[in-house]
Amino acid sequence: MKTIAVFPNVNKTESIDVMRRIKRFFSEKAVRIVMSKEKADIFSCPEFGVDDLTRERIDLGVSIGGDGTLLGVCRRLYDEKIPACGINIGRVGFLADIELSELEARLEDLLVGNYQIVERTVISGSVASKGNRRFLGHGLNDVVISKGGLSRMLHLGLRVNDTYIDDYKADGVIVATATGSTAYSLSAGGPIVNPNVPALLITPICPHTLDARPMIIPDTDEVEIYIAAVHQDIQLTFDGQESFQLLPGDVVYIRKGKNPANIIKFGDKNYYQTLKNKLWGNT
């Protein structure tokens, strides 16, 4: 029997109806649905609730929300190498590509194995602070170093593979995967990169100079960013969801993670058509 873990976004009211449809579809199928006991109670599905999801033998994860919800699920399942897919009730849906109009058909595909598991680059970040280096976490989209709300611009020193590149005076810098090229990096002026390309993007945020340009480097390179700012309000975030405070003098190291994230995709989904529909509309 296949075990599917469901991760609904409790802040989206549409999740309630989606959970009802999932419950109805799998009611007579040889599938075990599990979710955290807290969320199972919220969605009136106490029979799905378990005390500790980490102790369950999960075959795949399904998020209900937008791309952000799926990113969080991917990071949660990363160490166990469990594949995940997303039901899109968000605004865009580059990753969470099951649309509501096709929900039951896609659930059937999941049931019979009619899907592919694609590998997406994950980046990890660590920081050396006051002589001690510690691991911080993983990102599927990006790692962002940025200033706080009212602080002054940052002074950041960039090195790649121990080679000095440049000093940035900017609001921050984004190190993104190709998957994350259509997220924050795109808004900051970075290029769109097909997620099958093994690359990392380095995109400065609002640089106070005309010669600071986005860079594309192999995903085997290591990026090193020195924090030269004198103020204290500096943050590092993974996928815009997990945040850590940085200090002047800290050095951040960003590199490809040991393993990729496993994302479930369906054979009739075309990346370029999705890109066209999501960014430029159906013209």
pLDDT band at 282 (very low <50, low <70, confident <90, very high): low
Let me know: does 172 contact 144? Beta carbons within 8 Å.
yes
Model pLDDT, residue 131: 86
- Tell me the pTM: 0.93
Model pLDDT, residue 256: 97
Catalytic residue among 17, 41, 52, 67: 67
When computed from its CA atoms, the radius of gyration of the chain, rounded to whole angstroms, is 20
Sequence spans of domains, the chain: 2-120+260-280, 123-256
> Can you read off the two tokens belonging to residue 89?
């009730």
Percentage above 70 pLDDT, the chain: 97
Per residue in 24-60, pLDDT (tens digit) is 999 989 999 999 999 999 999 999 999 999 899 999 9
Would the pLDDT of 210 be above 90? no
Residues forming a β-bridge with 173: 145, 204
Per residue in 258-267, pLDDT (tens digit) is 999 999 999 8
Would the pLDDT of 151 be above 70? no
Let me know: does 176 contact 186? Beta carbons within 8 Å.
no
> Can you read off the two tokens belonging to residue 227?
């924090």
| Residue 162 is among the residues annotated as catalytic for this protein | no
- The CATH architecture assigned to 2-120+260-280 reads 3-Layer(aba) Sandwich (3.40)
Which CATH class, in words, describes the domain spanning 123-256? Answer: mainly beta
Q: Give the mean pLDDT of the chain.
A: 93
